[in-house]
Copies of this chain bind each other. A is one copy, B any other.
Amino acid sequence: MEGDPAKSARKEPARARRQRHQVAKNRPPAGSTPGTLAPAAAASATRIRAMRYGPDGCEEREIQDARELAAFCRPEAFLWVDVQGLGDRAALEWISAHFQLHPLVLSDVVHLPQRPKSESYPGSIFTVARRLRWKGDPEDLVDERQVSLVLGERHVLSFQEGPDDVFEPVRQRLLRGGGRIRVLGSDYLAYALLDAIVDEYLPLMDRLGAALEHIEERVIECPSRALLTELARLKGDLIAIRRDIWPQREALHGLMRGDVGAISPEVQPYLRDVHDHCVQVAEVLEVYREIAASVMNLYLTSIANRTNEVMKVLTVVSTIFIPLTFLVGLYGMNFRHMPEYGWTWAYPVLLLLMLVGSIAMVVVFRRRGWLGRPPE
């Protein structure tokens, strides 16, 4: 009776986790014309924030429709359009029309999840990045979101799944105008956005590492069943994150080497830096995965160890007392003709024999290391 709520509670996070491995979460029906947009899953409002900037200044505006966007553009300025929330398909379509995006770009922006990648289209570079953030919820540690970037000659478009603040520091830097951010053009802005995303990985990895080491410590101390569940979940998280980080690394590598389009030589060292952080995260991830596998092994071995210890105790007790019990049973028999029964010293001699036998066995067990600690 009371098991039901517990069970269903346990199934909740499982369902949440399942979505992370889903590949057809939000797709148009199979076989439909490419470019067809699936209806928005949940009605998440769309907010469009445009920033127009150049060496001389920076202006921000919330965009409501296509005309407003067209009016806000200036040929001599750089433009950053940040779209938060993908619910308003109409808005996505007029943005797409304004910047002449390929139908597949919009399709990839909308149909989640896509794997991180960098692709070149005539006049623009399209890159999909994955945000990863520590959620703190013990049942579901990591929050994943997709960010899509379109990098054009003089504009950057960014598409986020929902309202979020990962780009807030970049926005502040643009408004403050310090550094090279207003000077170096749209590829530098794209770098800054990718950098903001990748920078979030580092503290996440540290948290996962701490969680892993916490489990490892306790496995050695006392391997409990709850720990096993926890470890399995953490391992699943590492596998899932890896699926994001590795293509992310490749996508950044493609951008960095300029495989997919023109990145100016001044910006390349910065992209190399982001790529480098991503490689570092990928390497740490491999380390964690290895440690996780090793901890699972440690767990199994610890359990085997403990079973061995339990068995030793059982065997020692049984091996000493079962023969003794037989002996006392022997002299509990009711045969009329058992001469020992009449002997005066029979009882104390038997007691003595049993005592000596027991001590001998204890000595043997001690030597085998089955009793007490091994001599080391």
Contact = CB atoms under 8 A, between A and B. Distances in A.
B337 A326 contact: no
B294 A102 contact: no
Which among A11, A240, A280, A303 has the highest number of chain B CB atoms within 10 Å? A303
Chain A binding surface SS class? helix
B18 A209 contact: yes
B318 A23 contact: no
Nearest to A168: B31
A6 to B, nearest CB: 10
Contacts of A64: none
A33 B178 contact: yes
A291 interface: yes
Interface centre among A18, A24, A202, A279 (most CB of B within 10 A): A24
A266 to B, nearest CB: 10
Nearest to A198: B30
B296 A299 contact: no
A103 to B, nearest CB: 9
A270 B108 CA distance: 12
Interface residues of A, number: 133
Given A331-B334, A335-B331, A338-B347, A296 B297 contact: yes
A214 to B, nearest CB: 8
Given A280-B114, A308-B303, A335-B346, A222 B369 contact: yes
A34 B270 contact: yes
Interface stretch (A65-73, A142-150, A229-237): A229-237
Interface string A254-274: 000000000000000110110
Contacts of A312: 310
A27 B202 contact: yes
Interface in A13-68: 14, 17-18, 21-24, 27, 29-35
Given A104-B269, A315-B313, A304 B305 contact: no
Contacts of A322: 317-318, 321-322, 325
A193 B3 CA distance: 49
A30 B328 contact: no
A346 B369 CA distance: 37
A307 B318 CA distance: 15
Interface in A193-231: 195-196, 199-200, 202-203, 205-206, 209-210, 213, 216-217, 220-226, 228-229
30 contacts: A10-B221, A21-B284, A21-B288, A23-B202, A23-B206, A29-B169, A31-B168, A33-B179, A115-B280, A121-B269, A216-B232, A220-B225, A224-B373, A228-B301, A228-B302, A236-B291, A243-B286, A299-B301, A303-B308, A310-B370, A313-B315, A317-B318, A328-B329, A331-B335, A332-B333, A334-B338, A335-B341, A335-B346, A337-B345, A338-B347
Given A239-B287, A314-B318, 19 more contacts: A10-B221, A17-B213, A23-B281, A24-B203, A31-B166, A31-B168, A119-B272, A222-B369, A228-B301, A235-B294, A236-B294, A299-B301, A300-B300, A310-B370, A318-B318, A321-B322, A328-B332, A331-B334, A335-B340
